[in-house]
Structure 1
Amino acid sequence: MTYVGRRLNLALVAALLVLAAGTVGATVLFQSGVSEVEAQNEQLRSQNEQLREDLRSARDRIDSLESQVSGLESELAAANETLSAVRSERDGYREGLSEVCEQLREENGSVPEECENV
């Protein structure tokens, strides 16, 4: 019986050693996986911060460009108003010149060369 008991004890000790080695191996493997995940997390955090900074810069640039566009639109509106006023003034001068040319035609029967394209 002692022979069987010793064999059984040795088998149990061997089984415990195998289980302990398996547990240690699984723990080491798990820790390795955790370390890799932590490294990836840190890398992703760094990338995320860089992307946030890029986004802030892009938004600042957009705000600046929108401000420029607004200023240019105001300048364009003012230029269009000036252009309309100048065109209106030009049309008034043409009308006056046309009347003068018509009076000359009635009085002289002919008009100067400047009146031909009026």
Structure 2
Amino acid sequence: MSALGRSLNLGLVVIVVLLTAGTVGATMFYQYSVDSLDQQNEQLRERNAALEENLSETRQDLSATRTELRELNNSLERTRGDVSQVSNSLEDTESQLSSTQSELSSTRGELQETENSLEDARSRISDLTATLDDLEEQRNRLENQIDDLEADNEELEATNDRLEDRIGSLRAEVSDLEGQVSELELDLQEACAGYQADNEPAVCSGV
């Protein structure tokens, strides 16, 4: 009986030592995991803040670009109105020139003035047409910039969503680790419950 008792005591001691080592290892692993997760969470929060700031700046640039595009469109419409007005004026001048051909011999001076007016009108049409072409080119460039900014904005929003998902996963892992630690603590309490107060191992102190 004494040999059997000693074997049982030895077996219990081995079990307690294994449980203690497992609990200590789990606690150290949990502490390391929590510290690592905290560090990762902090890095993710900083990265998320930087991305949100970048996203805000991109949105501001996009708004400013759209405002400039609206102003250019308004200027383009005004220029088109001027071209139409000058074209109408040119048509009127040409009609007047045609109607005065019969009086050419007596009105050469008037004809010269009319031709000068016609030349000025044509020069103005040429200038306005060049301005219109420039405005069209600026509008195309701005539309391309808007497309680029919108693509950057979508990419930043997608990156932000991925980071939010990662944070959720890390929080779930932390919750799982906390549950495992709680289970280990319950196992230790159950193991220590089988000892009397004067025979319990040191690992059971305070459990």
Q: Shorter-chain TM-score: what band?
A: 0.7 to 0.9
Tell me the distance in 2 between the aligned counterparts of 1:60 and 1:40.
Answer: 30
Alignment deviations for residues 96-118 of structure 1 (CA, whole Å, 9 cap, x no partner): 111222x258x8xxxxxx8xxxx
Secondary structure of residue in 1 paired with 2:12: helix
Q: Structure 1: which 4+ aligned runs deviate by more than 6 Å?
A: none
Alignment deviations for residues 40-63 of structure 1 (CA, whole Å, 9 cap, x no partner): 111111111111001100010011
Tell me the distance in 1 between the aligned counterparts of 2:91 and 2:37.
Answer: 78
By how many angstroms is 1:87 displaced?
A: 0.8
- The answer for unaligned runs of 5 or more in structure 2 is 106-114, 116-207
Tell me the distance in 1 between the aligned counterparts of 2:38 and 2:76.
Answer: 56
Partner amino acid, structure 2, of 1:35:
D
Tell me the distance in 1 between the aligned counterparts of 2:98 and 2:47.
Answer: 73
By how many angstroms is 1:37 displaced?
A: 1.8
- Identify the residue that residue 35 of structure 1 maps to in structure 2: 35
- Identify the residue that residue 50 of structure 1 maps to in structure 2: 50
- Identify the residue that residue 99 of structure 2 maps to in structure 1: 99
RMSD: 2.0
Task: List aligned pairs for 1:65-104, cutoff 5 A.
Answer: 65-101=65-101, 103-104=102-103
Tell me the distance in 2 between the aligned counterparts of 1:62 and 1:18.
Answer: 63
| Alignment coverage as a number of residue pairs | 107
Partner amino acid, structure 2, of 1:12:
L
Question: Which of 1 and 2 has higher RCO (CA within 8 Å, sep 6+)?
Answer: 2
- Identify the residue that residue 2 of structure 1 maps to in structure 2: 2
